[in-house]
Structure 1
Amino acid sequence: MTDLLPPPRFVAAGPGAAPRAIAVRSFAGAAPSLVWLGGYRSDMRGTKAERLSALAAREGLGFCRFDYSGHGESGGRFEDGTISLWLEDAKAAIAAATDGPLILVGSSMGAWIALLLAREAAARGDGRLRGLLLLAPAPDFTRRLVEPALSPAQRADLETQGFCTEPSAYSDAPNIYTRALIEDGARNLLMTGPIDVPCPVHILQGTADPDVPAAHAIDLVACLPGEAVTLTLIPGGDHRLSREADLERIEAAALDLIGRTQNA
């Protein structure tokens, strides 16, 4: 199949003499710009990212998507990644490719990254962030979802070889969880109390998600103070939320947040 997308540009993330090369695709437009934050082991060319890119183009908005280090077209090894490093990647891509008001769209682990960015924006009084759209959000997934499900053999592997694996429902290659990822995740936990978010939040969560249960999204809502939080539970929705009806819901939620920003 012919690849019609132009090649990405690369931005540097991280300190030192050998920064990580982060692949970014973006285009300029009116505010607010949409920023896609993908999930664990995903890349920026998935169905939802493509749909949001098309939406932004139709609406004349700016759009940014990128691959974390060790993902997709970016450099680095996946096994070296942590939440802190992938947060740095997100900051580098956003700084290089956007200007003005933003709406962050975070899928699964990307919702964790989006919420960390939002908390930092609130702490420094940054008014650029105008909305969060969180899809099957998985903040704190290392502590709340991965660790409780580890078998004794997997825990032993983490201790002896620094990583463990489990079969993936989405790839022939297994999921890999490193001790560094889990330890770093513990330093980035959010759902231990109120999360200060300076903008409206809309969460879309499937009721048949085998990876992130709906109860996790409900727990997240309890951590988001304020009245500008919407949770939409999608009957029969799985983790990918890529059925046509799911994609239409994502578009509608994005358009609602866009409208709030433009009418403010």
Structure 2
Amino acid sequence: MSEHAAKFLSVGPDNDTRDIAFFHRPAAAGARTPMLVWLGGYRSDMTGTKAIELDRFAAENGLACLRLDYSGHGASGGDFKKGTISRWLEEALAVVRATSPSRVVLVGSSMGGWIALRMAEELRKAADAPSVAGLVLIAPAPDFTVDLIEPSLTEAEKASLLEKGYFEEHSEYSPEPNIFTRALMEDGKRNRVLNGIITTGCPVHILQGMQDPDVPYQHALKLLEHLPADDVVLTLIRDGDHRLSRPQDIDRMLSAVKTLAL
């Protein structure tokens, strides 16, 4: 855990303000290295194993590091059921801009991989934004609402989306069920990245477990097809699961980060 206390940034208009919690570790004096940005997955937070290990790596190497909780996650305010990719992307971009880095390495896990890809797109379009020095995508789940959830919806889940505006699904990682809203599903269509060439303008390293029950490794192969112009490395981990939080998995993540940031 960072020795610095969590800070909060208010994001959104007055009638929809969310207080977004984040930890920001400044770089060592005189450092010219990019800031590491941790983008977590759906229903995860910035105190998970991979996020903490990334912060530790930053501390040991004098790197700046930013971790945040999306609204409805962890220590942040806001209603989880209002969460969408656009909304969580807006929050992540706001926190990054508030810390004023000149360059960033985006480290996205699961849904955070989708947000990292969208963030790279948005930063490339903005004149006053930091440049993206690299992406590390861990079991990335771009377009998961369209490609992974919609095709497997049951009739009961479809009915629940129409009638209630959401459906619930058992979670392997929490006693509370996952909640997928109609707003999330519809917004997912507007944020698709696997429908054309993805131009990140930077090296990309993908880590994917082949025993991942949530994001099949074939999804990483599909992502690879949309990144033909970039310097892309895909590491398939034969016995890896979705979390990729074992010591050997953490070592792979940090090795990829080191290659891009140091």
| Smaller-chain TM-score bracket | over 0.9
**Offset from partner CA, 1:150-187 (integer Å, 9 cap, x none):** 11100000000100011000000000000000001111
> Contact conserved, 2:101 with 2:130, CA < 8 A, in 1?
no
Identity %: 51
Equivalent in the alignment of 1:112: 114
Trace 1:16-165 onto structure 2 (pairs within 5 A): 16-29=14-27, 30=31, 31-124=33-126, 128-165=131-168
SS at match of 1:93: helix
Which aligned segments of 4 or more residues in structure 1 are displaced greater than 6 angstroms? none
Alignment size in residue pairs: 257
Q: Match for 2:45: what amino acid?
A: D
Distance 1:4 1:34 in 2: 14
Measure, in 1, the Cα distance between the counterparts of 2:101 and 2:126: 17
Instruction: Mark the CA change 1:14 to 1:161 in structure 2 (over 3 Å): closer, same or farther.
Output: same
The CA deviation at 1:7 is 3.5
Amino acid corresponding to residue 9 of structure 1 in structure 2: K
Corresponding residue for residue 213 of structure 2:
210
When the two structures are superposed, what TM-score results if normalisation uses the length of structure 1?
0.94
Q: CA deviation at 1:17?
A: 4.5
Name which of structure 1's ranges 15-24 and 45-54 shifts more when overlaid on structure 2.
15-24
Q: Secondary structure in 2 aligned to 1:61?
A: coil
CA contact (8 A) 1:36 1:104 kept: yes
Answer yes or no: is the 8 Å Cα contact 1:165–1:175 preserved in 2. Answer: yes
Instruction: Report if the CA contact (8 A) 1:110-1:137 is conserved.
Output: yes
Matched, 1:11 2:13: no
SS of the equivalent of 1:211 reads coil
- Tell me the equivalent position of 1:235: 238
Contact 1:33 1:98 in 2 (8 A): no
CA distance in 1, matches of 2:110, 2:158: 24
Normalising by structure 2, report the TM-score: 0.94
8 Å contact 1:64–1:98 — kept in the other structure?
no
- In 2, Cα distance between the equivalents of 1:27 and 1:48? 16
Aligned-partner Cα distance in 2 for 1:23–1:227: 33
2:63 alignment partner AA = L
Give the stretch that moved more between structures: 83-92 or 219-228: 219-228
Question: Partner letter of residue 52 of structure 2?
Answer: E
Change (3 A) 1:81 1:227: closer
C-alpha contact (below 8 Å) 1:14/1:85 kept by paired residues:
no
Residue type of the alignment partner of 1:47: T
Distance between the aligned counterparts of 1:256 and 1:105, measured in 2?
13
Residue-by-residue CA offset, 1:108-151 (whole Å, 9 max, x unaligned): 00011110011122334656210000000000000001111111
Aligned to 1:262: none
* Shift of residue 8, structure 1, vs aligned partner: 1.1
2:175 partner letter: D
CA distance in 1 between counterparts of 2:73 and 2:221 reads 29
Relative distance call for 1:18 and 1:151 in structure 2 (3 A) is closer
Query: Any conservation in 2 of the 1:43–1:71 contact (CA below 8 Å)?
Result: yes
Cα drift, residue 18 of structure 1: 4.2
- For residues 2 and 105 of structure 2, the distance between their equivalents in structure 1, rounded to whole angstroms, comes to 26
Change (3 A) 1:221 1:97: same
